[in-house]
Amino acid sequence: MRILGIDPGIAIVGFGFIDKQGSKCVPVQYGCIQTEAHTPEEERLLHVYEGMVQLIDKYKPDAVALEKLFFNRNVTTAMSVSQARGVMVLAAMQKGLPIAEYTPMQVKQAIVGYGKAEKRQVQEMTKMFLKLQAIPKPDDVADALAVAICHAHSCTLNSKLNEVLRS
């Protein structure tokens, strides 16, 4: 199963494709879509949308996992990121892909085993799970890979639960 993990943003969208092979997660491709700060918002949204469509077409994921948004202060940033997230969801839905959402706490729990883990701990574990030489940069990329790993773990758990329930 190929999973696309996404860390939503308007300036930087982190993405990470992994293949779930049994109990292992293998990195396929990762990086970010970046938009220029002083570009009109509608152009930035178009750039994010087109970038997402190109990535989906090229790497053909079976599922998409997004980090749920959490904002406690800046409403303007929240609105922009929410709109960007919407075009990402639209791109995935147009391709018929199932979408899963995870809170930052769920991702931390899945990666580190502790829902209040520090960002650095999550990055180190992501590097270890994927057998990478270094933590991917910028942080948004590492976060996207962590979301993809979280989904891979959740799929495994859900599959086992369904087996038990069918018995």
Rg (CA), the chain: 16
Phi-psi region of 52 (alpha: psi -120 to 50; beta: other; left: phi over 0): alpha
Catalytic residue among 50, 118, 140, 163: 140
Is 57 known to be catalytic? no
Determine if residue 67 is labeled as part of a ligand binding site.
yes
Residue 78 has phi, psi (to 5 degrees) of: -60, -40
Comparing CA positions, the residue from 132, 52, 57 lying closest to residue 88 is 52
Comparing CA positions, the residue from 3, 7, 51 lying closest to residue 27 is 3
Determine if residue 7 is labeled as part of a ligand binding site.
yes
Is 19 known to be catalytic? no
Residue 140 corresponds to which tokens in the numbers above? 């948004």
DSSP conformation letters of 58-111:
HH--SEEEEEPP--SS-HHHHHHHHHHHHHHHHHHHHTT--EEEE-HHHHHHHH
- The three-state secondary structure class of 32 is strand
Is 140 known to be catalytic? yes
Determine if residue 36 is labeled as part of a ligand binding site.
no
Catalytic residue among 67, 118, 139, 163: 67
Q: Which residues are catalytic?
A: 7, 67, 140
Instruction: Enumerate the known binding-site residues for Mg(2+).
Output: 7, 67, 140
